[in-house]
Amino acid sequence: MNKTGWIDRRSLLAAAGATIAAPAVVRAQAKSLKIALMLPRSGFFAQAGQSCYRGALASPKVLSDLGYNVEIVHIDTESSNDVSRTQAEKAINDGAQCVIGAFESGNTIAIAQVCEQRKVPLICNIASAPQLTSQGYQYLVRNFMSGPGLVTNGLKLIGEVSKAANMEFKTAVFLHSNDTFGTAQAQAMEKIFPTLNMPFKIVESIAYDPKAQDLSVEVTKVRGINPDLLLIVTRAGDAIKLTRDMVRQKFQPKAIMSPGSPGLYDQEFFDAVHEYADGFIYNLPWFNVKSQMTQALEASFKATNPKNRFDLDGFNVGFTFEALLIAADAFKRAGTGEGEPLMKAIKATNIKDHVMIGGPIMFNEKGDNPNIGSAAVQNIGQKPTVVYPADVAVAKPILPFPAWQGRK
């Protein structure tokens, strides 16, 4: 402004330039990424959703120590596809710049459709349905194995563990839930098993309703076949019913193994069946107890969830934390929460130090992380214990399956 009180041309241009540049300055000053964390904290999958949620509570301290800053909005999908869809819309309308979720594949597919339409990145923490990364979504990545990947790795580990324990199987029955996850696993099993030259034969495949009152009919059928090996795909609720009916009917195969599914490591399962949880082997991606980041996450978990056990929640906690880590790291590199540049940064992820077993976190052209590893985990002394491979194992596998009778 000059002495007469009028704004001269030079001042006017400078002010206009500052006004035009202001939005860029505001974007550069963004300090945190607003993330909608969508989990089934109620409904049929509540146990797993609550486990993931406990991981989310433990994550901010570790992320902050690593130099990241995120704002997490916690949303309950209620284990419903419809609720997942509407809540994803609402979260984005309320300013969410990234979505993480949702444990269950059906819920995740519903969210993916919304995120794709709105061009908001979705990071799958846990969900294995193949179609998530086979339908061409551009705003989705998955830091988890697909169903076929779980089955392939799981079956290979069954062969390796049985060989390490000098245990021979000739016949097997495959028992699986008929929900989205279980059906995908069954389809993968049917396609993959014949290609692996396994030393045993699957003589029967049996599907069951995980919401059934009990599984006595299915157990009776399996008991009549009397296989050496029972292969199972379960979640916590049906794993409890399955265990109780096997104990009642005194069904005792040489081994009970899962080629890859939740349930057998969940707090709910241990609380319900106690010592009868021991002996089950499940082959899954697992947290690396030797990793410094895992140890930091466990310390934070104990502080935020003093009534819960990290060894039982670690699978859900680890993958939920890593999804948040992926989002925070991408945001820091992109410098913005805008959809397109943030998604570009997410796809360029390369995180060497992390929690779960395997190589660096990165994504292929489909949006899958090809570097996730699997481990054979056995319940020993009511504690999930890595028994194979040797470089991450802390105990040796116990086979044959310990007798039901004689347990306290």
**pLDDT given for residue 406 in this prediction:** 86
**pLDDT given for residue 290 in this prediction:** 85
**pLDDT given for residue 370 in this prediction:** 95
**pLDDT given for residue 46 in this prediction:** 94
Query: What integer is the mean pLDDT of 332-336?
Result: 96
**How many CA atoms does the CB half-sphere of 323 hold within 13 Å?**
35
Residue type, 74: H
DSSP secondary structure code for residue 348 in this structure: T
CB-based contact 254:278 (threshold 8 Å): no
- Listed in sequence order, the DSSP H helices in 258-391 are 267-273, 292-304, 310-334, 339-347
Name which of 316, 325, 346, 182 is nearest 259 in CA terms. Answer: 182
In this structure, what is the dihedral angle of CA atoms 356, 358, 359, 361, given to the nearest 10 degrees? Answer: -40
Answer yes or no: is pLDDT of 304 > 80. yes
Answer yes or no: is pLDDT of 11 > 60. no
pLDDT tens-digit profile of 87-97?
999 999 999 99
CB-based contact 186:207 (threshold 8 Å): yes
**pLDDT given for residue 260 in this prediction:** 86
Name which of 177, 154, 179 is nearest 229 in CA terms. Answer: 154
The alpha-carbon radius of gyration of the chain (Å, integer) is 24
pLDDT tens-digit profile of 359-397?
999 999 999 999 999 999 999 999 999 999 988 889 999
Answer yes or no: is pLDDT of 13 > 70. no
Answer yes or no: is pLDDT of 201 > 50. yes
Every domain range in the chain assigned CATH 3.40.50.2300: 33-145+289-347, 148-284+375-388
Q: Is the dihedral of CA 113, 343, 339, 54 positive or negative?
A: positive
Burial bucket for residue 390 (CB in 10 Å: 0-12, 13-18, 19+): exposed
**pLDDT given for residue 15 in this prediction:** 39
- Listed in sequence order, the DSSP H helices in 337-398 are 339-347
Answer yes or no: is pLDDT of 8 > 90. no
Q: What residues contact residue 67 under an 8 Å CB cut-off, 6+ apart?
A: 332
Q: How far apart are CA 37 and CA 96, in angstroms?
A: 10
pLDDT tens-digit profile of 220-247?
999 999 999 999 999 899 999 999 999 9
User: How confident is residue 22, by pLDDT bands cut at 50, 70 and 90?
Assistant: very low
Q: How far apart are CA 144 and CA 13, in angstroms?
A: 53
Answer yes or no: is pLDDT of 149 > 50. yes
**pLDDT given for residue 31 in this prediction:** 84
**pLDDT given for residue 306 in this prediction:** 97
pLDDT tens-digit profile of 122-146?
999 999 889 999 999 999 999 999 8
pLDDT tens-digit profile of 38-66?
999 999 899 999 999 999 999 999 999 99
Q: How far apart are CA 16 and CA 185, in angstroms?
A: 61
Class of domain 148-284+375-388: alpha beta
**pLDDT given for residue 33 in this prediction:** 97
Answer yes or no: is pLDDT of 25 > 90. no
Q: How far apart are CA 13 and CA 133, in angstroms?
A: 50
Q: How far apart are CA 180 and CA 41, in angstroms?
A: 18
CB-based contact 336:27 (threshold 8 Å): yes
Query: What integer is the mean pLDDT of 327-332?
Result: 98
Q: How far apart are CA 80 and CA 106, in angstroms?
A: 8
pLDDT tens-digit profile of 247-281?
999 999 999 999 988 889 988 999 999 999 999 99
Tell me the three state secondary structure of residue 101: strand
CATH architecture classification, 33-145+289-347: 3-Layer(aba) Sandwich (3.40)
Taking all residues of the chain, what is their mean pLDDT, rounded to a whole number? 91
Answer yes or no: is pLDDT of 19 > 70. no
Q: How far apart are CA 338 and CA 221, in angstroms?
A: 55
User: How confident is residue 177, by pLDDT bands cut at 50, 70 and 90?
Assistant: very high
Phi-psi region of 375 (alpha: psi -120 to 50; beta: other; left: phi over 0): beta
Q: How far apart are CA 85 and CA 80, in angstroms?
A: 9
**pLDDT given for residue 338 in this prediction:** 96
CB-based contact 154:260 (threshold 8 Å): yes
**pLDDT given for residue 16 in this prediction:** 38
**pLDDT given for residue 26 in this prediction:** 39
**pLDDT given for residue 398 in this prediction:** 95
